[in-house]
Amino acid sequence: MCIVAIAWQLFDELPLVLLSNRDEFLQRPTEPLHQWLDKPIYAGRDCQSGGTWLGIHQELHQQNGRWAAVLNFRDGVQATSNERSRGELVTDFLTSALSPMSFARQISLPDYAGFNLVIGDAEQAVIVNNRGYAPTPLYAGLHVLSNGQPDEGWFKTERLRGRLRQEVLPLLSEDSSFNYWQDAAFDVLSDNTKAPTAELPKTGVAFEVEQALSSVYIEPMALAVLKTTMPTYGTRTQSILTLRNEKGSCAEVRAELISRELGNDG
């Protein structure tokens, strides 16, 4: 997953609204959003490593409000075969009883390739990475991060932030019903505007690749390093995750996760 926007504790009825695009190699085998049979997890699944990029705790329609998302960190350092799958961070948290902060503090950071991890429940959300960003609680507000440091203002993160503030958050303020604002949310996730040359980050990849990766939505593209003209990489899944306070219900909060697959699996 390559970009995540989180509206945290901005709306009474929806304490969490999370929008995400997962960018991945098109040939990487993936299962779409579903209830896992072997773990109390509702998520898509990476069939290559067995983990996931975004998910919620759910078992037999019972929830505990836990949610998590992981993004890779793009700094030119290649992952090695002896490193653990970053998707395990999501599944391990969702099946853990630790608080978000306690879980973040006990991660063995050197065991993984570069990552940004956001984990939470109905009470607390925490972000951490293994590139020098210590476990930090999210403050109430709008947070947008991609494959750099959480406080870096990349073109794509700032563009998504601006469009959310102008086009989605006002709708949520008017009516939190999902059908009222979902089309606007998916529309901003589909923004394919690329960064001007002067606003490209420097992450150790070639200029052409950096520019192709600079939009919120990455159109199917052929990575030159694979020496092919066929599309090999792009945005594969768009997701919306919410936590909703349930009035008059035994459950304090209800999680809902929906995704749409973009049909470019190669």
Residues 32, 24 contacting (CB under 8 angstroms): no
* Separation CA 169–CA 166 (nearest Å): 7
- What is the pairing mode between strands 16-25 and 233-245? antiparallel
- What is the pairing mode between strands 125-129 and 115-120? antiparallel
Burial of 223 (0-12, 13-18, 19+ CB in 10 A): middle
Residues 189, 168 contacting (CB under 8 angstroms): no
What integer pLDDT is reported at residue 29 of this predicted model?
95
* Separation CA 253–CA 244 (nearest Å): 5
> Over its length of 266 residues, how does the chain's per-residue pLDDT go in tens digits?
699 999 999 999 999 999 999 999 999 999 999 999 999 999 999 999 999 999 999 987 788 899 999 999 998 787 787 899 999 999 999 999 999 999 999 999 999 999 999 999 999 999 999 999 999 999 999 999 999 999 999 999 999 999 999 999 999 999 999 999 999 999 999 999 999 999 999 898 889 889 999 999 999 988 765 556 678 999 999 999 999 998 755 557 899 999 999 965 43
Q: How many CA atoms lie within 13 A of 144 on its CB side?
A: 18
pTM: predicted TM-score of the whole model, two decimal places: 0.94
Where are the domains positioned within the chain? 3-151+231-261
* Separation CA 117–CA 71 (nearest Å): 6
Whether domain 3-151+231-261 has CATH 3.40.50.1820: the reply is: no
The secondary element (H helix, E strand) that includes residue 158 is helix 155-163
What lies within 8 Å, CB to CB, of 228 at 6+ separation is 222
Residues 128, 134, 137: CA angle, nearest 5 degrees: 65
Residues 237, 243, 244: CA angle, nearest 5 degrees: 130
What integer pLDDT is reported at residue 263 of this predicted model?
61
Please give, one letter per residue, the 3-state secondary structure of 196-250. Answer: CHHHCCCCCCCHHHHHHCCCCCCCCECCHHHCCCCCCEEEEEEEEEEEEECCCCC
